[in-house]
């Protein structure tokens, strides 16, 4: 069916390392049948994990919120992730860790009867926008589909509830855009599939403060903006403010800082990557040699 035989990558599932093409979960796992799971994604760049501790902290906090227990400590999870990357032979990698509810041996409907399952896998680094197109920037649409609200599902707990985002993507494709941002049902933007949004107007950055995942790359952007004396305001960001901004960018582990140059068919500013976005993008990639944010893959692997 789906041919992943050419895709480099390694997985860890049911206490065993396997090539990614062989990694499968039981169809009865509630991580699939109820999307009852949490996950996190960290990247490896030139042989080093970037901000691994922040991702591990969030993953463990998410599991705690959902009353999940992956059965491994943070150093053990780090070591498993490192081995997935090492076995795949990847210098730059997209590394995912997941804890699912598992399932009950009797298929009872009670989640307390389930034995939780831990899965990890490495793949080649994933880009929301290809590096060659980064200069051109993203063409996004803003969808009327509402992002699942925090009163239903806590967006701070990273989860696989993406149907709203996927349907938003199809909306965007129908309008000749490459990607999508969903709103909160009250005229403010929230997030896109796997990324946060920032707008810059008059030298000040703004980003939503609720209704979205608090991304680690979002946090990195906030810290790097501070270093270049661009303050960030956390507040509801109306769609109109996004459309009239001087610069717009999105942040994701899958690609870092990415300029948005077209929104709903209209150019952002002059339609080119903005000055602050450009400085920030360079800072972001340069920050991949900062010791405090980096852990060499071989160093997190314990025997």
| Contact pick of 17, 45, 160, 284 for its own copies (by CB under 8 A) | 160
Would you say 102 or 274 has its CB closer to its own copies?
102
Site for its own copies contains 142 (CB under 8 A): no
Contact pattern for its own copies over residues 218 through 257, marking x by CB under 8 A: ------------------------------------x---
- Is 220 in contact with 51 (CB distance < 8 Å)? yes
For residue 170, the Cα-to-chain-centroid distance in whole angstroms is: 19
Q: Which stretch binds its own copies (CB under 8 A): 23-31, 75-83, 258-266, 273-281?
A: 23-31
Total number of residues binding its own copies (CB under 8 A)?
Answer: 75
Cβ–Cβ < 8 Å for 195, 215? yes
Per CB under 8 A, contacts with its own copies among 253-292 are 254
Among 61, 156, 167, 301, binds its own copies (CB under 8 A): 167
Per the CB < 8 A criterion, the answer to whether 122 and 151 are in contact is: no
Question: Would you say 158 or 218 has its CB closer to its own copies?
Answer: 158
Report how far residue 26's alpha carbon sits from residue 102's, in angstroms, rounded to the nearest whole number. Answer: 9
* Residues from 72 through 101 that contact its own copies (CB under 8 A): 96, 98, 101
Element (H, E) at 263: strand 256-263
Radius of gyration, alpha carbons of the chain? 19
- Alpha-carbon distance of 119 to 40, in angstroms, equals 11
Looking at beta carbons only, is 39 or 249 nearer to its own copies? 39
Shortest distance (Å) from residue 167 CB to its own copies: 7
256 or 274, CB closer to its own copies?
256
280 Cβ neighbours under 8 A, 6+ residues apart: 221, 224, 225, 228, 249, 257
> Does 28 help bind its own copies (rule: CB under 8 A)?
yes
Rounded CA separation 191/213 (Å) = 8
CB closer to its own copies out of 122 and 206:
122
Q: Which of residues 183-202 bind its own copies (CB under 8 A)?
A: 185, 193-194
Figure out which of the listed residues 77, 85, 95, 145 binds its own copies, where binding follows CB under 8 A: 145
Please report how close the Cβ of residue 249 comes to its own copies at its closest, in angstroms: 18
Under DSSP, the state recorded for 90 is -
Which of 17, 45, 162, 284 contacts its own copies by CB under 8 A? 162
Least distance in angstroms from the C-beta of 111 to its own copies: 6
User: Cα–Cα distances in Å, from 179 out to 27, 52, 119, 246, 278?
Assistant: 30, 27, 28, 20, 20
Question: Rounded CA gap, 27 and 29, in Å?
Answer: 6
Q: Which of 19, 47, 54, 161 binds its own copies (CB under 8 A)?
A: 161
């Amino acid at each position: 069916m789906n041919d992943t035989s050419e895709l480099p990558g390694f997985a860890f599932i049911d206490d065993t390392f396997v090539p990614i093409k062989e990694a499968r979960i039981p169809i009865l796992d509630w991580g699939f049948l109820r999307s009852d799971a949490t996950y996190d994604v960290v990247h490896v760049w030139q042989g080093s994990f970037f901000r691994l501790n922040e991702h591990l902290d969030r993953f463990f906090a998410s599991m705690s919120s959902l009353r999940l227990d992956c059965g491994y400590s943070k150093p053990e999870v780090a070591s498993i992730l490192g081995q997935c990357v090492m076995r795949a032979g990847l210098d730059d990698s997209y590394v995912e860790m997941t804890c699912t509810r598992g399932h009950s041996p009797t298929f009872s409907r009670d989640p307390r009867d389930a034995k939780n399952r831990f899965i990890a896998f490495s793949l080649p680094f994933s880009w929301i926008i290809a590096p060659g197109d980064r200069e051109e920037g993203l063409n996004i649409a803003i969808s009327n589909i509402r992002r699942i609200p925090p009163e239903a599902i806590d967006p701070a707990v990273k989860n696989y509830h993406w149907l709203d985002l996927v349907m938003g993507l199809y909306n965007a494709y129908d309008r000749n855009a490459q990607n999508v941002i969903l709103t909160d049902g009250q005229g403010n933007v929230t997030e896109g599939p796997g990324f946060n949004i920032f707008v810059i107007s008059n030298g000040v950055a703004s980003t939503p403060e609720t209704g979205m995942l608090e991304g680690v790359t979002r946090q990195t952007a906030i810290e790097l903006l501070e270093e270049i004396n661009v303050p960030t305001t956390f507040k509801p960001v109306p769609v109109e403010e996004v459309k009239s901004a001087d610069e717009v960018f999105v942040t994701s582990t899958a690609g870092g800082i990415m300029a948005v140059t077209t929104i709903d068919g209209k150019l952002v500013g002059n339609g080119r990557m903005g000055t602050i976005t450009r400085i920030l993008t360079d800072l972001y990639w340069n920050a991949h040699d900062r010791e405090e944010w980096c852990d060499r893959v071989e160093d997190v692997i314990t025997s």
